[in-house]
Structure 1
Amino acid sequence: MSSQALATRHITLDALRGFAVMGILAMNIIAFALPEWAYVAPGTYGGDSAADKVSWFLSFIFIDGKMRGLFSLLFGASMALIIERAEAKSENPAKVHYSRMIWLLLFGLAHYLFIWWGDILFLYAVIGCIAYLFRNWEAKRLIKWALIIYGLGFLLYALQFGALQSMQYMATQPGADASIVAQYKEVVESPDFSIDASAEIAAYTGSYADIVARRWGDISNLLFLILQSITETLPLMMLGMAMKKNGFLTGEWERGDYAGWARKMLIPGLLVSVGLALWVVSSGYDLITTLGNFLAWSMVPRLLMTIGYAALLIMAIQSFAGSAFIGRVVAAGRAAFTNYLGTSILMSTIFYGYGLGLYNQVGRASLWFFVLGAWALMLLWSKPWLDRFQYGPFEWLWRSLARAKLQPLRK
C-alpha cells in the first residue's frame, strides 16, 4: 500500500473514536462525582431513588465496559495503522511506536497524579508495548489468540468469584457449618470489602494538595490495574489490530455483513446483560453478587456487545456520513485524546473541593446532565478547531514530543 493511501484518514475510525470517547464519559462520570465503590456497587453510593436505580440498571446493560472496550479496539486499530504508515515511509516502526507509548505512559502518570485517579492512558501505554510484538500476525491468528487470552481471563475471574459466591451461599444457609461461616465473615469483614469511603470523601472535598497526596499514596494502583486488566485490554487491542487488517473497523465490509454481526453479537449480549442486572437487583445489591457480575460474569456479554456496537455504529456512520452531526463526531474522534483529558480536567474541577465542590452531592440520574453538557462541548469545539488546525491540542503535543520536534499545527 502506498504512503499516500495510508495517509488518508479513515472516517469510520475517527467517528467510532468520537462515539467511544463520548460514551466512556457516561460511565466515568460516576468515578468523577462519587466514591470509587459507586462505580462497581450501586448499593453503596449514588442515591436510592427510583431514577438513580434505573440509571444504574441501564448503564450496566448498555454502557459499562462496552465503551471502554470500543476504545481499546480502536487503540489497537490505530496502533496497527501508525505502524503501517511508519513502514510505508521507511521509518523505524519500533522507534515510532515505543516513543509514542513512552510519552503516553508519562501523560497517563501525570493524569493519574494531578488530575484524576481513573486514568487508562498508563494502562494503554504498557499494554500497547506488549501488543506491538504481534504486529505482523495475520488477522485470524490475532483473533484466535485474543479470544484465548480473553477466555483465560474470564476463567480466572469465574473461579475466583464462583468460589466466593458458593461460600456465601453455604455460609448463609440455616445450620451452616461454623468453619465456613467463620471463613465467610473473615472475607466480608476484610478491608477489601469495606465500603466506608469517609477518607476518600474527605480527601476529594478538600484541597488540591490533599488530593495529590492521596494519589501519591495510591500510586501502586496503576500497577494493580495492569494485572487486573491485562487479560481484557490486551486481547481487545489484538482484536482491534485484526479488525483493522481485515477491513472491519475501516468500513470495508458489506453492509449485510455488519448487520449480521450486529445481530449475532448484540442480541445475546443484551439478553445476558439484562439477566445479570436483574440478578444484582434481586440480590438487594449484595456486594459480592455485584462484584461478581461487574468483574466476572459480564465479561462475555461485554465482549459481544462491544463488537456488536462497532458493527452497528459503522452502519450508522456510513448511512449518515454526509450529515453535520457525523462530521462533528468525526472531529471529536480526531481530537479524542484532548477530549478525554479535557473532560477529566473539567469534571474534576466541577466535583472536587478545589473547584465547585460537588463531590458526593449529585445522584446517578442527575449526573446525566453533566454528561450531556460535556458531549455538547466536545461536538461544539472539535470541528471548528480542526477546521483551522491539523491536530487537537494534546494530539499535537503528544506528536511533537514523540517525534522530538515541534509539528506544524496550523493548516
Structure 2
Amino acid sequence: MADLAPVPRSEREPLLDVLRALALCVVVTDNVMTTFSGSSFLPKTSPDYIHNEGLSGMLFRLLMGLRSMTVMSFLFGLGFSIQLTRAKDSEVTAMYLRRLTGMFALGMCHIALVWWGDILWIYALAGLVLLPCRKASTRTLIGIGLALAILPRAIPLIPFVGTALVPDETAIRQMKESMLAAIYGTEHGPMFTAHLRTLFYVHVCNLPWFLPWLAGRFILGFVAGRHRIFENNGANHLPLFRKLAIGGAFVALLGGAVRITLMGREMAPELKFVVRLVDDTAVVASVAMGISLVVLLMQNARWQRWLSVLIPVGRTPLTTYLSQSVIATFLFYGWGLGLARHVQGPKAGLVGLAIFMVQIAIAGAWLRRYELGPLEWVWRTLAYGKRQPMRRQPRSLEQVV
C-alpha cells in the first residue's frame, strides 16, 4: 500500500464534498431553529416551541430531525474506509487514533468557548467502533450497522430502561429555564454554567443509546467506502442508487404516513416503541433517498455545475461547522445581537440559511489561496503528527469549483 498521506485535492470526489455541504446546510438551519434561537427550550405551550405535537412540529421531525447527523456520520465512516485503503494497517491505526484525539480536543474547546451542543467529542468516542470493522465481512457490517442505526433510540422507551436513563421532568424543565435565561442574558458566567448543565442532560445522559446509534451510521458509511460506490461521482453504481432512491422514498413516505395517522393520539408504551423504530427506519430511508437523488443529479452537467458551488464548503466542513456556532451565538444570544427574543422557530431557519450562504462565499475565497480550511489544517496536522502545508503553491492554483 502507499505511504500514509492525505487525499490530494485532485483525487477528491466532488460528490462527497457536495453531500457534506448539503448536510452542513441542514445542520445550521436545524441548530438555529432549535437551540441557538432557544425554541427547543420554550414551554411546550409556546407557539414557537419547535418540538410541539402539532403540524409544525411533525413537519420538522419529518423533514429535518436527525437527517443531517445521519449524513455526516455516514460520510465520516466512509472517509475512514477510503483512508484505510491508502496506507499500511499499523500506520492508519495510529493516524486514526490521533485523528479521534484531535477531534475530541476540538470538541472540548468548542464546548468551553462557544456552545454546549458540540457533536465532535461524541463522534470521536463513537468512531472507535470502526477499528475492529476492518476485518469483518460486508454482510456482517450491514446487519450490525442497520441494527445500530435503527434500534438504540427506541431503547429508552422500554419502561424499566427509560426510568434509569431519562431524567425526571422537573430536572429537564429547570435545565430549559436556565438555558433560555442564559440565551437571553448577557453574562458569560451563567451562560457557561447553563451550557454545562444542558450538555449533561441532552448529551451525556443520552450516551448509552446515542453512541451506538451514531456507530451504526459510521459502519454503514464504512461499508459504502469499502465498495467505492461513490467513485466517479457514483456513476459506476447508478442502478443501485436508482433502487435506493425509489425504495427510500417508499419507506420514508410510509413512515410519514404512520406519524401523521398517530398525530395527537395517546399511545401505549408498546406503540411508542414501535413508532420510534418506524421513525428511525424512515430517517435512514430518507437519507438513502436524498443521497441517491444527489448522485443522480450529479450525472447531469447542468446540475453538476450548480451543485459544484457547494464544494468549497464541503472541503472545509470543520471550519464551517464550528464557525456556524460562533456566528449563530453572536446573532441570537444576549451578549451579541439578541435575536432570540424576537426570532424563533421556523423564522430562525431563514437566518440559518443566510449564514450558510455567506459561508459558501467565504469558503470559496479562502480555498483560492489555501489548501485547507484553518481548522482542517489544525486537525490534519494533529492527525498526521507533522505540520501540513497550508498556502497553495502557484502550480496548484487551479480554479476552485
What is the TM-score with the length of structure 1 in the denominator? 0.81
CA contact (8 A) 1:139 1:243 kept: no
Q: Could you list the per-position Cα deviations for residues 357-389 of structure 1 after superposition, in whole angstroms to 9, with x for gaps in the alignment?
A: 122532322112202201211221222221221
Cα offset, 1:193, TM superposition: 5.9
Identity across aligned pairs (percent)? 21
Which residue pairs with 1:200 in the alignment?
A: 179
User: Structure 1 counterpart of 2:61, which letter?
Assistant: F
Alpha-carbon separation, structure 1, partners of 2:169 and 2:68: 32
Which residue pairs with 2:82 in the alignment?
A: 81
Which of 218, 240, 245 aligns to 1:262? It is 245
Alpha-carbon separation, structure 1, partners of 2:107 and 2:45: 28
**Please, what is the CA RMSD of the aligned residues?**
3.4
Alpha-carbon separation, structure 1, partners of 2:197 and 2:73: 28
Which residue pairs with 1:214 in the alignment?
A: 194
CA contact (8 A) 2:332 2:340 kept: yes
**Match status 1:242 vs 2:223:** yes
Q: Could you list the per-position Cα deviations for residues 165-201 of structure 1 after superposition, in whole angstroms to 9, with x for gaps in the alignment?
A: xxxxxxxxxxxxxxxxxxxxxx998425647833222
CA contact (8 A) 2:183 2:333 kept: yes
Which residue pairs with 2:103 in the alignment?
A: 104
Higher alpha-carbon deviation: 120-129 or 240-249: 240-249
**Match status 1:349 vs 2:330:** yes
CA contact (8 A) 2:104 2:124 kept: yes
* Stretches of structure 2 lacking an aligned partner (at least 5 in a row): 393-401
Which of 12, 32, 38 aligns to 1:9? It is 12
CA contact (8 A) 1:74 1:240 kept: yes
Alpha-carbon separation, structure 1, partners of 2:36 and 2:124: 22
CA contact (8 A) 1:208 1:353 kept: no
Alpha-carbon separation, structure 2, partners of 1:344 and 1:229: 22
CA contact (8 A) 1:138 1:242 kept: no
Which residue pairs with 2:70 in the alignment?
A: 69
Which residue pairs with 2:26 in the alignment?
A: 23
Cα offset, 1:44, TM superposition: 4.5
CA contact (8 A) 2:158 2:273 kept: no
User: Structure 2 counterpart of 1:202, which letter?
Assistant: A
User: Structure 1 counterpart of 2:170, which letter?
Assistant: P
Tell me the SS of whatever aligns to 1:247.
coil
Alpha-carbon separation, structure 1, partners of 2:374 and 2:47: 34
Cα offset, 1:267, TM superposition: 1.9
Cα offset, 1:391, TM superposition: 0.7
When residues 137 and 365 of structure 1 are mapped into structure 2, their CA distance, relative to the original with a 3 A threshold, is same
Alpha-carbon separation, structure 1, partners of 2:199 and 2:303: 45
Alpha-carbon separation, structure 1, partners of 2:345 and 2:198: 26
Which residue pairs with 2:113 in the alignment?
A: 114
User: Structure 2 counterpart of 1:82, which letter?
Assistant: Q
User: Structure 2 counterpart of 1:32, which letter?
Assistant: F
Tell me the SS of whatever aligns to 1:145.
helix
Which residue pairs with 1:181 in the alignment?
A: none
* Stretches of structure 1 lacking an aligned partner (at least 5 in a row): 165-186
CA contact (8 A) 2:184 2:338 kept: yes
Which residue pairs with 2:297 in the alignment?
A: 316
CA contact (8 A) 2:255 2:282 kept: yes
Alpha-carbon separation, structure 1, partners of 2:96 and 2:276: 31
When residues 138 and 194 of structure 1 are mapped into structure 2, their CA distance, relative to the original with a 3 A threshold, is same
Cα offset, 1:262, TM superposition: 0.8
Alpha-carbon separation, structure 2, partners of 1:6 and 1:296: 37
Which of 301, 304, 326 aligns to 2:307? It is 326
CA contact (8 A) 2:74 2:220 kept: yes
Aligned residues: 379
Alpha-carbon separation, structure 2, partners of 1:17 and 1:278: 33
Alpha-carbon separation, structure 2, partners of 1:278 and 1:349: 40
CA contact (8 A) 2:155 2:162 kept: no
CA contact (8 A) 1:157 1:296 kept: no
Tell me the SS of whatever aligns to 1:243.
helix
Tell me the SS of whatever aligns to 1:117.
coil
Higher alpha-carbon deviation: 312-321 or 352-361: 312-321
Which residue pairs with 1:180 in the alignment?
A: none
Q: Could you list the per-position Cα deviations for residues 116-151 of structure 1 after superposition, in whole angstroms to 9, with x for gaps in the alignment?
A: 121110110001122222123343221122123345
CA contact (8 A) 1:204 1:210 kept: no
CA contact (8 A) 2:371 2:391 kept: yes
Alpha-carbon separation, structure 1, partners of 2:73 and 2:105: 19
CA contact (8 A) 1:17 1:74 kept: yes
Alpha-carbon separation, structure 2, partners of 1:155 and 1:198: 27
Which residue pairs with 2:358 in the alignment?
A: 377
